[in-house]
Structure 1
Amino acid sequence: MPTAVVTQWSDGHGDGTGPGDWPTSSASLPSLVAGMLGDLDPRPGDRVLEIGTGTGWNAALLARRLGPDHVTTIELDRTVADKAAARLTAAGSPPRVVVGDGAHGCPDTAPHDGVLATCSVTSIPPAWLEQTRPGGRIVAPYSPLLAGGRIVRLTVSSPTRAEGRFVRPSAFMRLRGHRYSGTPADRYMNGDWPAGADRSWTRLDPADALRYDWAAALAVGLTLPDLYQRRTAYGDGWTWWLFDTAVTSWATVDAIPDTERYDVRQHGPRRLWDEIENAWDQWQKAGWPGVERYGLTVDGTTHTAWLDTPDNPLHH
């Protein structure tokens, strides 16, 4: 079942009518939109800031519920914003549409009772906390660099602190300032690949840890927030490339279908595949916990993920 209707490719630079290099704006699955609005739980009189206007449909639903004067939606792409504003005006009683970087929020309409993001983030921008009143909610797709993307529902307790749980799976395009293209591989290799790597093997299919199981991918991604991955196809298989953002270490895993052992190469002071295996083992030993058992505490720029309760943080 499709999860979205893509409305823009490659930040609007795609040619023709076919798919571009990557999707950059969309209309989300209606059931997901409804679920996130339920997570936000806006009440009459609330002031809500939406991050990522897109088609304008979500903002229209909020305006219908709260009144147009209580809803502000911010969109970085002026073309997308202008089209959405025209649709909202044609529909009657349009909310305020602002062109700007959603990471900075909208101080002119703060404090807000709720912030609803329709783009994924790797961390909660400080401005969202600062512009939400104590007791207000932030609902956002939270996506670690490595794997896993889930909706988190946070309750703000101060301008620098919020806490809450992950509530549902999701797959959203990233806030543009949170895209991470990674470091060119040759900066890791230093002319030393593959001869300088330590070779081993594993029975853990990287797709099982990083892709197929929503809860496993979230657990591994939250445990190792400074890692990211790339995949390259060859024949019937894949090579999974693993890197750290500090540009110190790398690893590869060759995943060939219908095999029980996968070749591993690791280089640098950290053994990145070993860390992923350890995180996956922790998830298994905890009883294969689902998404809803994980939570997040935001304290300034520090993000701490936890299992069941905040006093049980994830460690690698």
Structure 2
Amino acid sequence: MSRNMIDNKEIKWINEIDALKKMWEIRIFEEMIQELFDTGELYGTMHLCTGQEATAVGGAGILKQSDWIVSTHRNHGHCIAKGTDIRSMFAEMLGKKTGTNEGKGGSMHIADLDVGNLGSNGIVGAGFPIAAGAALSAQMQGTDQVVLCYAGDGATNEGSFHEALNLASIWQLPVIYFIENNQYGMSSSIEQMVNIDKLSERGKSYGIEGITIDGNDLEAVTRTVHNAVEKARKGDGPTLIEALTYRHKGHSKSDKLIYRSEDECREWQENNDPIFRLEKELIQKGMLQEIDIRQLEIAIRKDLADIISSVKLDSEPTVDDLWTHVYAEDEV
């Protein structure tokens, strides 16, 4: 991927070093919230996207701020790549009033309208119709906004997937449905759940272009999403993208990973890790040296550790705060 991979001033991640930094921020962020959970400082559940950083940065990371994303329960990477403040995300997970949802939503419900993050959703497949609705809004108002809707492979078997794709197709909505096929829906392999070779083939049934890509190849993700975004902006309708990737961790914090082999996990982690693949490319191109990368990683770890220390001092919601955000505050 060249430094000027895409000649478009609206795309932020045209610099691979910036992309690598953002991918490391996502991974270290998740390592730290895992530590917080292990030490009893973080409650509730969480779903880590470790191993899927390229789909976040190559997708949400190249959108304009005015564009929208809709995310899933495995949302941290999408939110960070779209520009949601990391400090506010830490605060949300630690139940602080300074969180993105003032400490009321936790890991699965992060939202940040200021940067076009319409919110994450813990209901599998719920994002498909929400994205269609947002895209319809953009179309009706005549803006050039597009919606990037993330979902997992398991969500493509939900009725909401088929209903939303049909609607997006007949109305030619400016939406990209981005399927992160990480090989498993909770504990069931994708081969057990569908009888087709590529999930992208399902787009044909609705007259939608379907594309399957290597989701751990940052360039492939960036270029494919860019093309789909430009297509949607011109009014040429939706695209269905299937990105093949792999989650290193379990489905959620309590998953013991007894349904897949150690050899399989090792193969993906050692030979197909999106961060290490990008690092190798940058070193081969002479853009970075190994010591530069490790210093970058150390700096990010320090910055995020400092943020956590600061967040722990923030105030928590009060009992009275339970009554806020329940009803519209202004008169209708």
Higher fraction of helix: 2
Higher fraction of strand: 1
Give the alignment's TM-score, normalised by structure 1: 0.30
Give the alignment's TM-score, normalised by structure 2: 0.29
Bigger relative contact order, structure 1 or 2, given CA contacts below 8 A and separation 6+?
2
